[in-house]
Amino acid sequence: MSGFGPAIMRWSAEQGRNLPWRRTRDPWSVLVSELMLQQTQVSRVVPKYHAFLDRFPTLADCAAAPQADVVKMWAGLGYNRRAVNLHRCARQVAADHDGRLPDELGALLDLPGIGPYTARAILAFAFEHDVAVVDTNVGRVLARRAGRRFAAREVQAAANELVPMGEGWAWNQALLDFGALLCTKKAPACDRCPAVAGCAWKGEGSDPAVGSAGVSGGQSKFEGSDRQGRGRLVDALRLGSVRTADLAVVMGWPADPARAERVAATLVTDGIATRSADTYHLTD
């Protein structure tokens, strides 16, 4: 990895993305952006991020609101469990941490909806700690640079070693951009890479990032899936209650009411919806 860091930092200074959550160190704003960005394109997140923070500018505002209001504001972002977890997280922080997100890894990992990546992202981007943030883009870059697949513990350790002292915020942003813009999954721009000389792969032969720890294998097909039906039902619930008898039509499976009821029940299990007699509505 010798020489890699300075090259990426120089490239980032010229080519890095200007994103709204990079113009703040507010832990709440950082948390909102990180949960929204999970498996959602940046272009879709930007307007939702602004709208959400207009409605819930502080963690306390979110904690005080009904869960249903948070889920309604999550429209268009998918994976509504994230909205529920964000609301639960806000309430737990309000109750246990005086309304302030902690700046310690273990305490963050104890909160609902915060896993290893999100916890480290908060530490790096809100508190400017020198910790390594490893998402699918970073995992892909590291595997290609090394020319081999990493195990889970290896990839975090390799990322940790690269963080320049006192530059955790800037370094992680640079590496995330590098993976998202140049060292991409399907069409890596090796001809424009500022550090190609030290890359073990250089776009030749089988990609060592495939199957490497931290690198996403891609999502399952959405069209016709249970996820699509769940999303349709939540969209309908944002407008009002839905009768059990109408589930199949609302969810797009008019000929399969049994499937509709089975999938609707998962929303209840996840705490997104509540069933009262023969009616479903968003959980307050």
Dihedral (CA of 221, 222, 225, 226) sign: positive
Catalytic annotation, residues: 34
Q: Which residues pair with 275 in a beta bridge?
A: 280
Could you give the CA distance from residue 100 to residue 124 in angstroms, rounded to a whole number? 16
Could you give the CA distance from residue 245 to residue 175 in angstroms, rounded to a whole number? 50
Sheet with 273-276, strands from edge to edge, namely 242-243, 279-282, 273-276
Secondary structure, 3-state, the chain: CCCHHHHHHHHHHHHCCCCHHHHCCCHHHHHHHHHHHCCCCHHHHHHHHHHHHHHCCCHHHHHHCCHHHHHHHCCCCCCCHHHHHHHHHHHHHHHHCCCCCCCCHHHHHCCCCCCHHHHHHHHHHCCCCCCCCCCHHHHHHHHHHHCCCCCHHHHHHHHHHHCCCCCHHHHHHHHHHHHHHCCCCCCCCHHHCCCHHHCCCCCCCCCCCCCCCCCCCCCCCCCCCHHHHHHHHHHHHHHCCEEHHHHHHHCCCCCCHHHHHHHHHHHHHCCCEEEECCEEEECC
* Helix axis angle, 116-125 to 27-37, nearest 10°: 140
